[in-house]
């Protein structure tokens, strides 16, 4: 494994967080040349390497200390924490900053034609989701029993396809739900993108780079408020 004193930052390669993450690092003055095919980009003007990966891999890379810093949605982060707690795996990290993008919520939604008064209408139903642990935590708290249908994509078509009675999926505007004949009935988790850092030993050189980076991120966000 390559080991040097350059700070390693993981961000999403392509998806809803990638443009905003890249824009944030650029506004912080980090000169990076991100290529579509390449996993890693070396900053020209600072001791920083940026790794572009699937968002789902970012929390684990930080918790396993493979990278120093990650830019990730709190939804994916919290799901990985719960997953690792079940597996009795290390799930430590430090949240350095909540960011001003990637704003969404994880919500329960049901077909518009079903009667829904409260969450107990979903007792013993099957719920499709990509976030089984966050869903279970919420349902346990509400004393709701449910069957899950784990899907990594196309969750919103599950009820129409006869795979589930309801869904638990990310929502920002609600347009996708509406287009699929679904109604948002319960928000189970509010999420934003955030900056996380690995725990444990970090060299003084890297600590200084992290401090500089966080001061600049703070400045970029303040300027946008």
Enumerate binding residues for ligand ATP (CB under 6 A). Answer: 12, 15-17, 54-56, 73, 75-76, 102, 104, 170, 172, 191
Q: Give buried/exposed letters for 161-173 (b at 16+ CB in 10 A, else e).
A: eeebbbbbbbbee
Residue 216, Cβ neighbours under 10 Å: how many?
16
Smallest distance, Å, CB 151 to ligand ATP?
12
Q: Would you count residue 55 as binding Zn ion (CB under 5 A)?
A: yes
Choose between 110 and 134: whose C-beta lies nearer to Zn ion: 134
CB of 191 vs ligand ATP, minimal distance in Å: 5
Q: Taking a C-beta distance cutoff of 8 angstroms, is the pair 210, 68 a contact?
A: yes
- Burial label for 131, CB within 10 Å (0-12, 13-18, 19+), is buried
74 lies in the site for Zn ion, by CB under 5 A: no
**Contact between 57 and Zn ion per CB under 5 A:** no
Number of amino acids touching Zn ion (CB under 5 A) = 2
Helix (H) or strand (E) holding 41: strand 40-42
Rg (CA), the chain: 19
3-state secondary structure of 69: strand
Q: Which is nearer to Zn ion, 125 or 176 (CB)?
A: 176
Nearer to Zn ion, 56 or 100 (CB): 56
Which of Zn ion, ligand ATP, none interacts with 180 (beta carbon under 5 to 8 A by kind)?
A: none
**The entry of Zn ion, ligand ATP, none that residue 21 binds, CB within 5 to 8 Å by partner kind:** none
């Amino acid at each position: 494994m390559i080991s040097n004193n350059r700070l390693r930052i993981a961000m999403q390669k392509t998806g809803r967080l990638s443009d905003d993450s890249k824009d944030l690092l650029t506004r912080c003055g980090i000169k990076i040349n991100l290529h579509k095919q390449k996993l890693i980009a070396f900053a020209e003007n600072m001791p920083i390497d940026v790794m572009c990966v699937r968002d789902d891999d970012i929390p684990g890379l930080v918790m396993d200390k493979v990278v120093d810093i990650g830019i990730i949605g709190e939804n994916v982060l919290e799901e990985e924490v719960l997953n690792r707690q079940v597996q009795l795996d290390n799930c430590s990290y430090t949240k350095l900053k909540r960011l001003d993008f990637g704003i969404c919520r994880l919500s329960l939604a049901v077909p518009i034609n079903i009667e829904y008064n409260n969450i107990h209408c979903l007792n013993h139903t099957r719920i499709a989701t990509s976030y089984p642990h966050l869903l279970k935590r919420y349902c346990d708290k509400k004393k709701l029993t449910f069957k899950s249908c784990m899907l990594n994509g196309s969750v919103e078509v599950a009820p129409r396809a006869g795979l589930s009675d309801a869904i638990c999926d990310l929502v920002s505007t609600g347009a996708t739900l509406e287009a699929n004949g679904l109604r948002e009935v319960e928000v189970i988790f509010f999420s934003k993108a955030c900056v996380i850092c690995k725990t444990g030993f970090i060299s003084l050189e890297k600590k200084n780079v992290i401090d500089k980076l966080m001061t600049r991120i703070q400045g970029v966000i303040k300027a946008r408020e």
